[in-house]
Amino acid sequence: MKHAISVTLGEENLLWLRAQAAAGTGGSVSAVVDRLVHEARMGGRTDAAAIRSVVGTIDLPADDADLSEADTYVKGLFDRSLSRPMLVREHPPKRKARKARKATKRG
């Protein structure tokens, strides 16, 4: 999913982006910016302050620190979820519009 944002750029950078878009993506500056951001992310070019770690954000149970019972627990959650009643409605396929017949002249 893509989201629209507003970006303020220097005149020379905007000119360069437009030239890149015209040369390679059919005129889409957004596609060029998206590609540049993707390449920067995949290449590891990030500000060190922006790197966050998830270490310490999850508490493991003391009696199952290696999570050997995790599969059973998750399966139990899934089974309980499936046992709840759920309203499902199916709609019939939409009918195709009839083609208008040409009026024939009698006479």
Distance of alpha carbon 6 from alpha carbon 33, whole angstroms = 12
58 and 65 Cβ atoms separated by less than 8 Å: no
- pLDDT score recorded for residue 9: 94
The reported pLDDT for the residue numbered 48 is 78
- How many Å apart are CA 103 and CA 70, to the nearest integer? 71
Residues of the chain scoring pLDDT < 50: none
| pTM greater than 0.75 (yes/no) | no
The pLDDT value recorded for residue 25 is 66
Q: From 7, 10, 1, 35, select the one nearest 20 (Cα to Cα).
A: 35
